[in-house]
Amino acid sequence: MKHRFSWLRGVAAAGMTASALVALPAHAGIFDDDQARQAILDLRSKTDNLSSQLSAAQRALLDQSNRIDQLNQQVATLRGQNEDMANQLTTLQKQQKDYYTDLDGRLKKFEPQQQTVDGVQGTVEPGETDAFNKASQEFRAGDFKTAAASFRDFIAKYPQSPYQPTAQYWLGNALYAQRDYKGSTAVWQNIVKNYPQHPRAPEALLAIANNQLEQGQKAQARKTLQQIVSQYAGSEVAQSAQTKLGQIK
């Protein structure tokens, strides 16, 4: 009986040991699942963090790209503004140059200028050329009375002008056109007396000879023509005078 009880205790002990052995694997499996779950959670957390970081990086890159586009636009705008400013500067420089050129031209009109009139050089005062041209235009228009008055005004106003002999010559022509033979002859004689070496002098003498011929003064005309041939030999006017001498009967 005692032996049987010992055996039973041994069996019970063995059963308890077996139960313990059976229970251990089950406990170890539960522990592994928790660790795996935690690892998954950790991995998911890391993945979420990485995804967030990636999204943030993408946003940052997009923002940076937008900023670069904005900078490029600003650079393009500034380049356009620089080109506009350069064009404006060029325009202003040209306007300034034109202004000073025009100003210089205007100022020169108020300064005496050296000018050659009928081959003779002289100093022309401001307004001389315009006044002479005005009288000449009136003559060409056939307004001989007004032209004569304008030439007289010019002669009185600019006594030292290099235009003087020419102005007097055309004054004589304006008077001649009005059949003022005496007045025109007096003006032309003044040219011969005061400007004997001027190119208009022999022309004035020839005009005087024509006046004399028209008035029937053949002897005086012949004398005037001979003066031209003698005093201005070799000139075209002298040749014309010689031809006229041959025509006087």
pLDDT value, residue 8: 43
What is d(CA 166, CA 124) in angstroms, rounded to the nearest whole number? 14
pLDDT value, residue 110: 63
Compute the average pLDDT of residues 43-57.
86
Sign of CA dihedral 234, 170, 144, 215: negative
For 103-140, the three-class secondary structure string (H helix, E strand, C coil) is HHHHHHCCCCEEEEECCEEEEECCCHHHHHHHHHHHHH
Tens of pLDDT, residue by residue over 111-147, are 778 888 988 888 999 999 999 999 999 999 999 999 9
pLDDT value, residue 105: 66
The DSSP code for 235 is: S
Residue with tokens 């993408």: 58
Compute the average pLDDT of residues 199-225.
96
pLDDT at 4 over 60: no
**b vs e for 73-104, b when ≥16 Cβ sit within 10 Å of the residue's Cβ?**
eeeeeeeeeeeeeeeeeeeeeeeeeeeeeeee
pLDDT value, residue 11: 42
Tens of pLDDT, residue by residue over 179-209, are 999 999 999 999 999 999 999 999 999 999 9
What is d(CA 26, CA 209) in angstroms, rounded to the nearest whole number? 157
Q: Give the mean pLDDT of the chain.
A: 85
pLDDT more than 70, % of the chain: 84
Max distance between CA atoms of the chain, in angstroms, equals 205
Q: Are 125 and 103 in contact (CB under 8 A)?
A: no
- Interior angle at CA 195, CA 191 and CA 198, nearest 5: 105
pLDDT at 49 over 70: yes
More confident residue, 6 or 34: 34
The pLDDT confidence band at residue 171, using thresholds 50, 70 and 90, is very high
Q: Which fold has domain 114-247?
A: 1.25.40
More confident residue, 182 or 38: 182
User: How buried is 199 (Cβ within 10 angstroms: 0-12 exposed, 13-18 middle, 19+ buried)?
Assistant: middle
Run of H or E residues at 12? helix 2-108
More confident residue, 25 or 74: 74
Sign of CA dihedral 168, 171, 176, 179: negative
